[in-house]
Structure 1
Amino acid sequence: MNAIEALNKPRWDDHDWGPLPPLTRDAEAEVCVIGLGGTGLSCISEALNLGATSVIGIDAVDVAAGAAGRNGGLLLAGPVDFHHDAVERHGVERTLAIHALTERELATIQQETPGIVRVTGSLRIAETPEELADCGRQFTAMRADGLAVEHYDGPEGRGLLFPHDAVFHPLKRARALATALRSRGAQLYGQTIARSIEPGRVRTESGTISARHVIVCVDGKLEWLFPELLAEVRTARLQMLATAPQLPIKYDRPVSTRYGFDYWQQLEDGSVLFGGGRDKFEADEWTTDDAPDAKVQEYLEKRLRERLGISTDITHRWAASVAFTDSGLPIARELGGGVFVVGAYSGTGNLVGAVCGRGAAQLALTGENTLLAPFQD
């Protein structure tokens, strides 16, 4: 496969998958979930765990066709902000609660889909003296609050090591979970666009779903579904590339640098995934266009060659839409009449999104709010 053939196909799409069938009729369920990424699938899983009698899930494309299957494959505990910054913005109690929930979610993902997660730890590497000093502030705050962190000085550079973080194959995880949910009785449909969302009813082009609870689990372009969120949510494009294997393996752990704007990991076969650069072209990257852009891709390739020393061919270039909020906290609320919405994870949806999906199911089916409360103002 060459770069042209792989344009906007993520490196993760490396195995056969039979697409979900579309919805072709009216249907009824106790719970209808819109969006079959990591959040939506976790929501369905939790709904079934809580005893939902029937669950229907729909997606405009297919399982994890958006950011859930097109991200860097990192499982990093905590909110989007570095710990010391999060404490300053949200307080220590809320920040620690989010950290604990995401760590627990990592364990849940390992249990639900065995063999897909690798606990490697992760690195934050400083590129400037100022960033190294910020790493020091993060270290002090994390240690003061009892969180696992170590100073790091190694081949990648100087910074911090977070020993409990992990990596995974996000698309394989989503497809394995979808398969398991279907075996438990969940009805999942692809190529099914929600044309209107109302209390108790979701209308699509080929059928109407009647449901007691409607839960929308969408990240990028969330403001398209709910224009009332335009003041809170903004969609950006995140871009990545991947290479052919280069051995021996140079990077045992995923790395983020430049305050998290660049990140990479090397897979077990030696191929490298590199993402980021959005801040270098910020005006252009606040967009709902989810096709790779030449300027960002050129930046990523240059960093790959010069910063990482990777010389093998580039095999994949892709992008995804991700929604951001000014607070860094996701949208996680009931909109009224039994319609719930979760999304806008500011680029950290693999764990936070899954927690929010479970929390939405918990809130809808039991009225409890223990999972969502730390994310809500």
Structure 2
Amino acid sequence: MTTETTENQPVWDDGFWTAFPSLQGTVTTGTCVIGLGGSGLTVIEELLARGEAVVGLDASDVAAGAAGRNGGFLLAGAYDFYHDAVRKHGRDRALAIYHATLVEMQRIAEAAPATVRFVGSRRIAADEWEVGDCRAQMEAMQADGLACEWYEAADGVGLTFPEDASFNPLARCRVLARKAAQAGAQLYGHSPVTAVQGTRVETAEGTVHCRRVIVAIDGRLEVILPELTGRVRTARLQMLATAPTTEITVPCPMYYREGYEYWQQLPSGSLTIGGFRDQGGPGEWSLDARPMAPVQELLEAFVRTHLGVSAPITHRWAACAGYTESGLPVLEQVREGVWALGGYSGTGNVIGALSGRAVVAAALDDNPAPARVLHGPQWRATVTGGRG
């Protein structure tokens, strides 16, 4: 592999950030939120809007996991392509999810406007089968009035989605964290949770007593809440970035081979790319969030041969994300007073924020409607131990 200039640092990190202190001693609050990524910070935003006292904890730092180490795509819809979502979840729910994500993308942009660029996105087919699948997706979307256009150019054949966006995921989370702290939330970094006992949360050096706990993490969700083992599984996602280049121009986020590879070009000219999780072997189902040679070599080869970019590699990084069999997130009360959300299957930027708003609506407002957009009319805000 080409020698990189950073060690597991995402290209999004500009180095200008002061971490929150760790939790020391005992604090009492209304709600304890575990996880300071995009979904956890959305939960905190919603709680503060309701006048709730909040303590937020993170094992490392704000968006130090997948929330600040992903590809920077804001995509409408569920994990599955729209026509697949219709087949799996029914047309009404697939369409409701799509519309809800479009609204959520606007809210994300309004909350952190300098971090978002509405430039659309593209799906590029890797073979003839995928060309046909793109046609099926376009037909389904256009039949339901969703923006989707056929695309053919030198870089491939596929679809353009004009309402999607690109953003800096780490900068967005840091904006949300600053706003939350200014609004009165007590936020603590470098405070890994060692136990959730009822509504008491233990860390290495502190304890939170509260009325409810909301565990809002993606990767490692099954570690904090073992009852979710088998329903959510953690995978390592890997990325790299090049130095700024003019060798190609990438106008918007691109995804290829059914989304297994994804790349974009930043305003600086740097190219960022992730993927090949499925070709890295079973070891990519891992809690280890370090970049590893097999996948990094595949990514670099793709940059050099498929994209034709020779600019030096400047960043290599990885993160852990949770996956579910259905592709829909975990969103439920797993114990009395303890709620879980995560398992976004690689689509947590928008779906995670939706899930965060839904869990607060259910837990504080006794309003199941937002959760039912994602999980259907059968969803119940009760302790079931089964699918939410």
Under a length normalisation based on structure 1, what TM-score does the superposition of the two structures give?
0.97
- One-letter code of the match for 2:365? T
Residue in 1 that maps onto 2:136? 137
Q: In the TM superposition, what is the alpha-carbon distance from 1:371 to its structure 2 partner?
A: 1.8
Structure 1 segment 230-241 matched on structure 2, within 5 A: 230-241=229-240
8 Å CA contact 1:125–1:256 kept in 2: the answer is yes
Counterpart CA distance in 2 for 1:80 and 1:156 is 24
- Show the counterpart of 1:86: 85
CA distance in 2, matches of 1:331, 1:338: 16
Letter of the 2:43 partner, please give it: C
What letter is aligned with 2:361? Q
**Hey, what does 2:21 align to over in structure 1?**
21
Task: Give me the whole-angstrom Cα distance separating, in 1, the residues matched to 2:318 and 2:16.
Answer: 21
Deviations 1:40-75 (A, max 9, x none): 0011001111221x1110000010000001000000
Question: What amino acid maps onto 1:218 in structure 2?
Answer: I
Matched, 1:47 2:51: no
- 1:228-287 deviation digits (Å, cap 9, x = unpaired): 111211111110000000026511011001010001000011100011011112422111
Range with bigger deviation, 54-63 or 331-340: 331-340
Query: 1:92-144 CA deviation, whole Å, 9 max, x = no partner?
Result: 11111111221111111111112110000000001111000000000011111
Residue 185 of structure 2: aligned partner? 186
Query: Structure 2: any 5+ residue segments left out of the alignment?
Result: 380-388
Give me the identity figure in percent. Answer: 49
The 8 Å contact of residues 151 and 161 in structure 1, kept in 2 or not, is answered as yes
1:18-44 CA distance string (max 9 Å, x none)? 011011121111111000000100110
CA drift of 1:155 comes to: 3.2
- Runs of 4+ with deviation above 2 angstroms: 2-5, 374-377
Q: Does the 8 A contact of 1:198 with 1:339 survive in 2?
A: no
Question: What is aligned with 1:125?
Answer: 124
1:328 maps to amino acid: G
Instruction: Give SS of 2:352's match.
Output: helix
> Where in structure 2 are the equivalents of 1:1-377 lying within 5 Å?
3-52=3-52, 54-247=53-246, 250-376=249-375
Residues 144-199 of structure 1: CA distance to partner in whole angstroms, max 9, x if unpaired? 11111000112321100000000100111111110111110111000111111133
For residues 16 and 80 of structure 1, the distance between their equivalents in structure 2, rounded to whole angstroms, comes to 33
Out of 216-225 and 200-209, give the one that drifted further. 200-209
Rounded to whole Å, the distance in 2 between the matches of 1:344 and 1:146 is 29
Deviation at 1:374, TM superposition (A): 2.6
Distance between the aligned counterparts of 2:304 and 2:247, measured in 1? 16
State the alpha-carbon separation in 2 of the partners of residues 7 and 16 from structure 1: 17
- Indicate conservation of the 8 Å contact 1:101/1:371, yes or no: no
Q: Distance in 2 between matches of 1:288 and 1:79?
A: 24
Could you state the TM-score of these two structures normalised by the residue count of structure 2? 0.94
SS at match of 1:180: helix
Instruction: Show the counterpart of 2:385.
Output: none
Q: Which amino acid aligns with 1:100?
A: H
Residues in 2 aligned to 1:94 and 1:338: alpha-carbon distance in whole angstroms: 28
Q: Distance in 2 between matches of 1:331 and 1:12?
A: 27
Deviation at 1:221, TM superposition (A): 1.1
